[in-house]
Amino acid sequence: MLLGTPYLILIDMKKFTKLTSAVVPLNIENIDTDQIIPARFLKATTREGFGENLFRDWRYENDNQPKADFVMNNPTYSGQVLVAGKNFGCGSSREHAAWAIQDAGFDAVISSFFADIFKGNALNNGLLPIQVSDEFLAQIFKAVDNNPKSALEVDLENQTVTIVETGAQESFEINPYKKSCLINGYDDIDFILAQKELIAEFEQTK
Amino acid sequence: MSKTLVEKIWDAHVVKSEEGFPDILYIDTHLIHEVTSPQAFDGLRKRGLPVFRPKQTVATADHNVPTLNQLLPIKEELSRYQVDMLTKNCAEFGVELYGLGHPFQGIVHVIGPELGITLPGKTMVCGDSHTSTHGAFGAIAFGIGTSQVEQVFATQCLLQSKPKTMKIEVNGELGKGVGAKDIILYIIAKISAAGGTGYFIEYAGSAIEALSMEARMTICNMSIEMGARGGLIAPDQTTFDYIKGREFAPAGEEWDKALAYWKTLYSDADAKFDSVLTFDAADIAPMITYGTNPGMGMGIQEHIPATGAQPEKEKLSYQKALDYMGFDDDSSLIGKPVDYVFIGSCTNSRIEDLREVADFVKDKRKADNVTVWIVPGSKQVEQQAKNEGLDKIFEAAGFQLREPGCSACLGMNEDKIPAGKYCVSTSNRNFEGRQGQNARTLLASPLTAAAAAVTGKITDVRDLLDKVEG
């Protein structure tokens, strides 16, 4: 993959290969990016620090007290993998949603369906979106229901996700180019910059 | 080989296509605003890169700006900082900015078309999901994240996989009191908030062809609300007439050359779409949403669907949405009191929207229990409304005409709906907290919003139109 592509500048994008972790389950469908990070927190001009406001209005009362019934405030659940209902990340294109999830310590998000722009934003930041079948998603939720410490193994090289306890496994799709970017920590700009002459040539034909 | 409109435009912009890689797609126009650009400018600084084609980049301040006293310094510190940062970044990187106080300032998706920047056959992107609006002109236009904003700054290109194509045909004539907003809310209610994911949608059919450019923009604007990357409509005489003579539109020989090309922009008769849906305009009633995603909409006379009728695994999320809204399932919304009416946003803040509302509220007055905000999409729309005396009509009706910006669509500025209050809104999203923490949003057309403003409750606007004529 990407053989012979001269990388001009390598920016510090997070690499991803494999992880085994307990999960944080959020069994709600159509979680939009306004829930992930409400618009009033989009005024920052850097990429850092959005994690503390991840799921802000589900996670905290107006007086900033944690809401006891929200999963991220329940010490039983922890881990680097967020598992959510279908159509995760719909709505606004705000990349702050991916930044917030990553900043809160997650390295992968699993759902049975992702909104396009969110998926692209996640991949561009080294946050792995893993689309599984409805059935497998239900199995994960069930495993975590039975045992909150139930772990998942995510293997990007082999494109598999495994429920460690039961051994149930499913493979997932990822664009081969994007996979290579994640494993090597490359980003799209490195790739396109290497084609700048081609771009200038293209402009001449317009 | 026969091609769809999307394929024609896409193929004309591919710099490089290689097996196993996304295409390198050339971007003609990059629109930017204050919220999703600062981190991208920072990225350029870190890499030591300029904006590759600054003349193909246009900036405005819209998301954070106040809609009263815009010429005074912005009170909210973080908003002011972000808007100032845009000004600095544009100056440093040589990008044209229509900032506060500029006669061209406004919502990014309103100013592009009105200035003649948005043209058929173009590829356009912006760090905003409602970039699909520009598709109304027969352009490929879609929203991107900040990393991609940086990509376009650095290279004027994007790495993109070619999307699947869907055709949505709406045929026949719309009923009285039914408009473009009702068409799109109806389609989204039919195919769900995820029904268009992975697709670029071409809207067609006699009901679409009969729409004005501004109405077409309303349709394309909400493509993202069913998950689609974008939506577009083949350009026709309506399109050409709208563009001609606008500030940055081609003129003279350039116009003739452009027009000849634009006339080739349609899907070939035997072009294959990955999916085709057909709807009958006569089936569409004034629409209203009752839940917390734009797919949860219904004809205004209908009852909210029963929770028991939802698929088993969706019941929990469905009931959660109704609880948030404070609505019972299987109930009607007609007569439900409302607290706020917001007429604005990139979906419905253009001059035709304002004219339609003014025409309806002339010699009427808002109900005492309702606060009404009208936020024009741009300085030009605001000025035009005043030139036509619409401001006087609004004032007499107790509607407040404010200054342009995104405003209460997403409540990044002071224009927030208070917790628990109901707002009938002409915007595009009814997500939890979208218009303010715990605010409850009901999406509707400008006409349905105006009817709620006048009666103080959810109203079938057709009843009021009947009265006028009767």
ipTM: 0.95
Tell me the domain boundaries of chain B: 5-276, 290-469
Residue ranges of B 174-213 with Cβ closer than 8 A to chain A: 193-194, 197-198
CB contacts, 8 Å: A86 with chain B: 194
Amino acid occupying residue B267:
S
pLDDT of residue B466: 67
CB A117 within 8 A of CB A93: yes
Both tokens assigned to B111: 């100013």
B4 phi/psi in degrees, rounded to 5: -80, 165
pLDDT tens per residue across span A80-90: 999 999 999 99
Q: What is the DSSP string of B45-84?
A: HHHT---S-GGGEEEE--SS--SSSTTSPPSSHHHHHHHH
pLDDT of residue A14: 77
Q: How far apart are CA B70 and CA A99, in angstroms?
A: 31
pLDDT of residue A1: 36
Q: What mean pLDDT comes out for the span B256-280?
A: 98
Of A57, A138, A176, the CB nearest to B433: A57
Q: How far apart are CA A22 and CA B323, in angstroms?
A: 31
Confidence of residue A12 (pLDDT cuts 50, 70, 90): low
Tell me whether residues B193 and A87 touch, CB distance under 8 A: yes
Confidence of residue B467 (pLDDT cuts 50, 70, 90): low
Taking the CA of residue A98 and the nearest CA in chain B, the distance in Å comes to: 10
Tell me whether residues B193 and A192 touch, CB distance under 8 A: no
pLDDT tens per residue across span B37-53: 999 999 999 999 999 99
- Does A29 touch chain B if contact means CB atoms closer than 8 Å? yes
Q: B115-118: list long-range contacts, CB under 8 Å, 24+ apart.
A: B115/B246, B115/B247, B115/B248, B116/B243, B116/B245, B116/B246, B116/B247, B116/B248, B116/B249, B117/B29, B117/B31, B117/B58, B117/B248, B118/B29
pLDDT(A9) > 60: no
pLDDT(A23) > 80: yes
Q: What mean pLDDT comes out for the span B219-243?
A: 98
* CATH code for the domain defined by B5-276: 3.30.499.10
Is the pTM higher than 0.90? The answer reads: yes
Domain B290-469 listed as CATH 2.120.10.80: no
pLDDT of residue A6: 37
Q: How far apart are CA B445 and CA B425, in angstroms?
A: 8
Q: What is the DSSP string of A143-187?
A: HHHH-TT-EEEEETTTTEEEETTT--EEE----HHHHHHHHHT--
> Considering chain B, what is the average pLDDT of its residues?
97
Both tokens assigned to B276: 């085709």
Q: What is the helix (H) or strand (E) element at residue A84, kind and residue range?
A: strand A81-84
pLDDT of residue A185: 87
CB B379 within 8 A of CB B349: no
- Does A10 touch chain B if contact means CB atoms closer than 8 Å? no
CA dihedral over A74, A76, A80, A85, signed as positive or negative: negative
Distances (CA, A) of B451 to A7, B248, B382: 59, 37, 22
First to last CA, chain B: 55
Numbered residues of the known binding site of B for [4Fe-4S] cluster: 346, 406, 409
Q: What is the DSSP string of B294-355?
A: TT-EEETTSBPPPGGGS-GGGHHHHHHHHHHHT--TT-B-TT-B-SEEEE-TTTS-SHHHHH
CATH topology match: B5-276 vs B290-469:
yes
Of A124, A134, A177, the CB nearest to B20: A177
pLDDT tens per residue across span A124-155: 999 999 999 999 999 999 999 999 999 999 99
Q: How far apart are CA B217 and CA B209, in angstroms?
A: 12
Tell me whether residues A57 and B42 touch, CB distance under 8 A: no
Nearest of B277, B129, B104 to residue B202 by alpha carbon: B277
Nearest 5°: the CA angle B410, B329, A68 is 60
